[in-house]
Each structure stands twice: as C-alpha cells, then as structure tokens.
Structure 1
Amino acid sequence: MQIYKVGGAVRDRLLGKPVTDIDWVVVGATADEMLAKGFRPVGADFPVFLHPKTGEEYALARTERKSGRGYGGFTFHASPEVTLEEDLIRRDLTINAMAEDDQQNLTDPYHGQRDLDDRVLRHVSPAFAEDPLRVLRVARFAARYAGLGFTVAPETLELMRELSESGELEALTAERSWKEISRALMEDQPQVFIQVLRDCGALKVLMPEVDALFGVPQPEIHHPEIDSGIHTLSVLEQSALHKQPLTVRWACLLHDLGKGLTPEEHWPRHIAHEHTGLKLIKAVNERFKAPKDCQELALLVGQYHTHGHRALELKASTLLELLQSFDVYRRPQRFEEFIVACEMDARGRKGLEQRSYPQADYLRGAANAARGVAVQPLLEKGFKGPELGEALKRERLKALKAYKERA
C-alpha cells in the first residue's frame, strides 16, 4: 500500500499558496484493507474512505470510462493493480495531475510543474472532453489564477468549444452547475470565468441571457465602455475588488439582462430594461436553482438599480415605495446589499471606477429615517390593523420628507 498526496494540495504548495483541503490516493490496496485499518467508507459510486483520526478523504486509485451523458456518466474501476499514473491521467488539468509521497518526492507524468511555471491551464488527455463539468472547472481555475498570469491553452479551449457544441452541457444538473458557478463568482477575478465561458461558446449554452449582452451598445455619455457585456464584466470585477458576498455578485451578473431584449432600432437607449429583464433574471435563477437570497436580490437589483442611481432625485413617496419593496424594517441587510450592488454598477464603467457614489449614504440615511418612526405612539392613539399600517406609512413619509430637506 502506497499513499500519495494529490491534486490541489500539491499544486498550491508548488505555487506557494496556502493549502487547505488535502486529497489522498491509495495505490496497491483493497477496500477490505482500508476497513481493517479503521478507515470509514463514504463513497457510494467509488471507494473513498475517511481517515480514522484526521477525517481526510483517501480514495483508492481508479480508472474511469465514459458510459453515458453528463458529469455522472462514468463507470469506475478500482483495484490494487491500478497505478498512480493511471489514476492521475483521468484528472482534468496537468497542474491537478501531480502527486507527492510523504517525503515530498514529486510524481509528475503529465508535466504539470512545467505548466505551472509557464502559467498554462492545459488538459491532461483527450478524455477531458468526456466530462462537461470540466468546462466550468477550467473557467473557474482561470478566474482563480488570472492574477498570477494563467491562461487556458489554445488546444484545451478548443476541446471546451467542442464540448459546448456537443450538447453535453445540457446534461449537467442544476446543482452541479450552481456549485461551480457560485465558487467561480467568489474567486478573485470572476469576470474571467464569464469571459472564458464566452470564449469557448459555453456561455451561449448555459446563460444565453448574459451572452446576448455582448455587442449591445449603451449611451457613451453614461457608459464610456459602450458594450453592455463589457459593462457586466466590469461590474462583476468591481464586486470582487470590493469583496462583496455571493448574493451581490450574482445580482451584479444579472442586473442588466433586459438590455439584451432592446430592439436594435432603439439602441443605444434601453427604456424600461429594468422591467423587461425581470423574466430573464427569473429564468436564470430557476435554471440553476440559485439559493433564495441570491434569487431575491438579483430580481430586486434588476428592477430597482436605476432608482438607486437616481436616489437623490427621488420624491419622498417614491423613496418610501422603494424602502417598502425591500422590507427594510425586517430585512435591513438585503437593502444594504442592494445599495452596494448599485455602487458596483456605477463603478463598473470605464474610467469611472474611483468616482464617489453619494447615493449610497443617502439611501442608508433614508432607510434609517423611515426605520426611526416609532410604532408605540400610534398604538397609544388607538390605531390597529390596516389603519395602523396606513398611519405608519404617513409618519414614515413625513420622516422622509424631513430627511430630504435636511440632506
């Protein structure tokens, strides 16, 4: 029995990055031998075991063969005869197909270290094209390591293009897709993830609503970058630079989908794109079964982001309607995320990334003014039920009018 550290732990150590998760491969062993040593089995499809003390995953060396469509369409074969090289060749990228023993002696049959040095994301073997999930994984690694200068090898991008055109991407489950998308959006440069998907034709398959934004112009006076797709990438980039949570990043990606529906004769203006985009945002939300908080914020940002930009001009009554839409009294965090999504939208414009966004503090002040209206005095006056709601609304409107005068 020989045990090797494999995959990301080896890659990140060689890159000088912190190692968090460690995966192990066991060569020359059977499942019974693992059980005899106290390992606990967890893999239903293939033999994976948890270490009795550390809880880390140890997998028996295995080979795999394509047997159906999609990510799960594989049969696995694990036996003591499977070599380390045979186990490594089934992996996606050369930089993930390295192993080391307990003395840190490197086994690198597919030249992963060379590709690390050259900053290249390259597939290990033609079998790469058998698993559609790898299109998303490679795009995610591109987003993670773009800051180090990594790019996707042309021949790997070509395989990703073939996969995108094959219909295999449609076989991915919503859950598997969302897991990769959500992880990619939380990388340092999530806009690279979207760009790589677009470069290989996968964006058109997975998110045609986002892909449709590229080539659609906007008024240059407001958007010096002009292209709606480029703007979306820039907004996503800003959300990562400002360390925003997943909810905000998802909303940033989807906020302008309505612009893809504007008839060409109306370009570069996009009247009512906030409302026309809602059905598209809803469709993307449902396609990937995004978590409820991500879905809600994306729809609200899509509908109201132009209100955010015009906050200083809004009438007190419109401000109140905006606050009510977000339920700022019980869901203050959601309104805060809306504010920062609007700010990322404003900063995601060429040459305007550092421009101040006074609307943010103005909206926070408005929310505080409305929240500051006490319910108790109205209860003491005998208001209850719907009448109490109306009275509260009147007092909040008064508070917002006073706030506008002071601001």
Structure 2
Amino acid sequence: MQIYKVGGAVRDRLLGIPVTDIDWVVVGATTEEMLAKGFRPVGADFPVFLHPKSGEEYALARTERKSGRGYGGFTFHASPEVTLEEDLIRRDLTINAMAEDDQQNLTDPYHGQQDLKDRLLRHVSPAFAEDPLRVLRVARFAARYAGLGFTVAPQTLELMRQLADSGELQALTAERSWKEISRALMEDQPQIFIEVLRECGALKVLMPEVDALFGVPQPEAHHPEIDTGVHTLSVLQQSALHKLPLTVRWACLLHDLGKGLTPTEEWPRHIAHEHTGLKLIKAVNERFKAPKDCQELALLVGQYHTHGHRALELKPSTLLELLQSFDVYRRPQRFEEFIAACEMDARGRKGLEQRSYPQADYLRGAAAAARGVAVQPLLEQGFKGPELGEAIKRERLKAIKAYKEHA
C-alpha cells in the first residue's frame, strides 16, 4: 500500500499559496485493507474513505470509463493493480494531476509543474471532453488563478467549445452546476468565470439570458462602457473587490437581464427593463435551483435597483413602499444587501468605480426612521387589526417625511 497526496494540495503548495483541502490516493490497496485499518467508507459510486483520526479523504486509485451522458455517466474501476499514473490521467487539468509521497517527492507524468510555470490551465488527456462539468470547473479555476496570470490553454478551450456544442452541458444537474457557479462567484475575479464560459460558447447554453446582454448598448452618458454585458461583468467584479456575499454577487450578475429583451429600435434606452427582466431572473433562479436567499435578493434587486439610484428623489410614499417590499422591519440584512448591490451597479461603470454613492446612507437613514416608529403608543390608543396596520403605516410615512426634510 502506497499513499500519495494529490490534486489541489500539491498544486497550491507549489504555487506557494495556502493549502486548504488535502486529498490522498491509495495505490495497491483493497477496500478490505482500508476497513481493517479503521478507515470509514463514504463513497457510494467509488471507494473513498475518511481517515480514522484526521477525517481527510483517501480514495483508492481508480480508472474510469464513459458509460452515459453528463457528469454521472461514468463506470469506475478500483483495484490494487491500478497505478498512480492511471489514476492521475483521469483528472481534469495537468496542474491537478500531480502527486507527492511523504518525502515530498513529486510524481508529475503529465507536466503539471511546467504548466504551473507557464501559468496554463491545460487538460490532461482527450478524456477531458467526456465530462461536461469540467467546462465549469476550468472556468472556475480561471477565475481563481487569474490574479496569478493563469489563462486557459487554446487546445483546452477548443475541447470546452466542443463540449458546449455537443449538448452534453444540458445533462448537468442543477445541483452540480450551482455548486460550481456558486464557488466561482466567490472567487477573487468571478467576472473571468463568465468571460471564459462566453469564450467557449457555454454561456449561451447555460445562461442565454446573460449571454444576450453582450452587444446591447446603453446610453453613454450614464454608461461610458456602453455594452450591457461589459457593465454586468464590471458590477460582478466590484462585488468581489468589496468582498460581498454570494447573495449580492448573484443579484449583481442578474440585475440587468431585462435589457436583453429591449427591441433594437429602442436602443440605447431600456424603459421598464426592471419589470421585463423579472421573468428572466426567475427562469435562471429555477434552472440552477439557487438557494432561496439568492433567488429573493436577485428578484428584488432586478425590480428595484433603479429606485436605489433615484433614492434621493423618491417621494416619501414610494420610499415607504420600497422599505415594505424588503420587509426592513424583520429582515434588515436583506435591505443592506440590496443597498450593496445598487452601489456595485453604480460603481460598475467605466471610470466611475471610485465615485461616492450617497444613496446608500440615505436609504439606511430612511429605514432607520421607519423602524423607529413605536407600536405600543398606537396599541394604547386602541388601534387593532387592519386599523393598527394603517396607523403604523401613517406614522412611518410621517417619520420618513420628517427624515427627508432634514436629510
């Protein structure tokens, strides 16, 4: 039995960046031997075990063969005869197909170390094209390592293009796709993820609504970058620079989908794009089964982001309606995330990245004024039921009017 550290742990050590997850591969062992040493089995499809003390994953060396469509369409074969090189060749990228023993001796049959030096994301073998999930994975790695100068090798991009054209991407489950998308959006440069998907033709298959934004003009006075797709990528980039959570990043990606539906004769204006975009945001949410908080914020930001930008001009009654829509009394955090998304939208414009956004504090102040209305005095005055609701609304409107006058 020989044990090797593999994949990301080896790659990141060689890159000199912190190692988070450690995976191990075991050559020359059987399931019975692993169980005898106290390892706990966890893999349903292939033999993966948890170490009895560290809890780290140990997998038996295995080969795989394509047997159906999609990410799950593979037959695995694990046995003591499978070599380390045979195990490594089924991995996605050369930089993930290196192994080292306990003395840090490197096994690198597919030249991953050279590709690390050349800053290339290159596939290990033609079998790369058998797994559609790898299109998303490579785009995610491109987003993660863009800051270090990594790009996708042209030959790998060509295989990704073939996968996008083959119809195999449609075989991916919503859960697997969302796992990759959500991880990619939380990288330092999530806009690169979208760019790579677009470059290989996968974006128009997976998110045609986002792909449709490229080439759609906006008024240059408000959007010096003009192109709506370019603007969307800039907004996403800003959300990462400001270390915002996944909910906000997802909303930033989808906020302008309605502009993709504007008839060309109306360009570059996009009247009511906030409302036309809602059905598209809903469709994307459902396609990937995004978590509820991501879905809700994306729809709210899509509908109300222009309200955010015009906050200082809104009538008190409109401002109150906005606050009610977000349920700022019970869910203050969601309104904070909305404000953040609006600010990223304002900053995601060429040359305006550092511009101040006074609307943010103004909206916070309005929410605080509305929240400051005490219910107890109204109860003491005898209000109850629907009448109480109306009385609270009146007092909140009064509070917002007073706030607006003094702001």
TM over 0.5: yes
CA offset digits 1:355-396 (Å, max 9, x no partner)? 000000000000000000000000000000100000000000
- Quote the offset at 1:202 in angstroms: 0.3
2-side partners of 1:349 and 1:41: how far apart?
51
CA offset digits 1:154-189 (Å, max 9, x no partner)? 000000000000000000000000000000000000
- Quote the offset at 1:132 in angstroms: 0.1
CA offset digits 1:277-324 (Å, max 9, x no partner)? 000000000000000000000000000000000000000000000000
2-side partners of 1:267 and 1:140: how far apart?
33
| Alignment-derived partner of residue 209 in structure 1 | 209
1-side partners of 2:185 and 2:10: how far apart?
24
| Alignment-derived partner of residue 392 in structure 1 | 392
Determine helix, strand or coil for the equivalent of 2:317. helix
CA offset digits 1:207-226 (Å, max 9, x no partner)? 00000000000000000000
1-side partners of 2:267 and 2:238: how far apart?
26
1-side partners of 2:42 and 2:309: how far apart?
51
Which stretches in structure 1 are left out of the alignment for 5+ residues? none
1-side partners of 2:51 and 2:73: how far apart?
28
With structure 2 as the length reference, what TM-score do the two structures score? 1.00
CA offset digits 1:223-244 (Å, max 9, x no partner)? 0000000000000000000000
**After TM superposition, where is structure 1 displaced by more than 2 Å over at least 4 residues in a row?**
none
CA RMSD of aligned residues (A): 0.3
Determine helix, strand or coil for the equivalent of 1:76. strand
| Alignment-derived partner of residue 280 in structure 1 | 280
Matches within 5 A, 1:193-204: 193-204=193-204
- Quote the offset at 1:275 in angstroms: 0.1
| Alignment-derived partner of residue 357 in structure 2 | 357
- Quote the offset at 1:98 in angstroms: 0.2
Matches within 5 A, 1:121-132: 121-132=121-132
1-side partners of 2:216 and 2:130: how far apart?
34
Determine helix, strand or coil for the equivalent of 2:58. strand
2-side partners of 1:329 and 1:42: how far apart?
44
CA offset digits 1:19-65 (Å, max 9, x no partner)? 11100000001111111111111111101111111111100000000
2-side partners of 1:326 and 1:399: how far apart?
18
- Quote the offset at 1:199 in angstroms: 0.2
**1:258 and 2:258 correspond:** yes
Determine helix, strand or coil for the equivalent of 2:220. coil
- Quote the offset at 1:326 in angstroms: 0.3
| Alignment-derived partner of residue 233 in structure 2 | 233
2-side partners of 1:107 and 1:86: how far apart?
12
Determine helix, strand or coil for the equivalent of 1:221. coil
1-side partners of 2:87 and 2:389: how far apart?
65
1-side partners of 2:325 and 2:36: how far apart?
60
CA offset digits 1:49-102 (Å, max 9, x no partner)? 111111111000000000000000000000010000000000000000000000
| Alignment-derived partner of residue 188 in structure 2 | 188
- Quote the offset at 1:3 in angstroms: 0.1
| Alignment-derived partner of residue 117 in structure 1 | 117
Determine helix, strand or coil for the equivalent of 2:388. helix
Determine helix, strand or coil for the equivalent of 1:103. coil
The worse-fitting range, judged by mean Cα deviation, of 33-42 and 246-255 is: 33-42
2-side partners of 1:371 and 1:51: how far apart?
52
CA offset digits 1:93-118 (Å, max 9, x no partner)? 00000000000000000000000000
Determine helix, strand or coil for the equivalent of 1:218. coil
1-side partners of 2:60 and 2:201: how far apart?
35
- Quote the offset at 1:266 in angstroms: 0.1
2-side partners of 1:230 and 1:152: how far apart?
20
CA offset digits 1:2-25 (Å, max 9, x no partner)? 000000000000001111110000
- Quote the offset at 1:204 in angstroms: 0.2
2-side partners of 1:68 and 1:190: how far apart?
31
With structure 1 as the length reference, what TM-score do the two structures score? 1.00
2-side partners of 1:298 and 1:156: how far apart?
33
Which stretches in structure 2 are left out of the alignment for 5+ residues? none
1-side partners of 2:347 and 2:49: how far apart?
48
2-side partners of 1:194 and 1:309: how far apart?
26
2-side partners of 1:228 and 1:196: how far apart?
17
Determine helix, strand or coil for the equivalent of 1:382. coil
1-side partners of 2:259 and 2:128: how far apart?
36
1-side partners of 2:329 and 2:130: how far apart?
51
CA offset digits 1:240-262 (Å, max 9, x no partner)? 00000000000000000000000
- Quote the offset at 1:196 in angstroms: 0.2
Determine helix, strand or coil for the equivalent of 2:405. helix
Determine helix, strand or coil for the equivalent of 1:214. coil
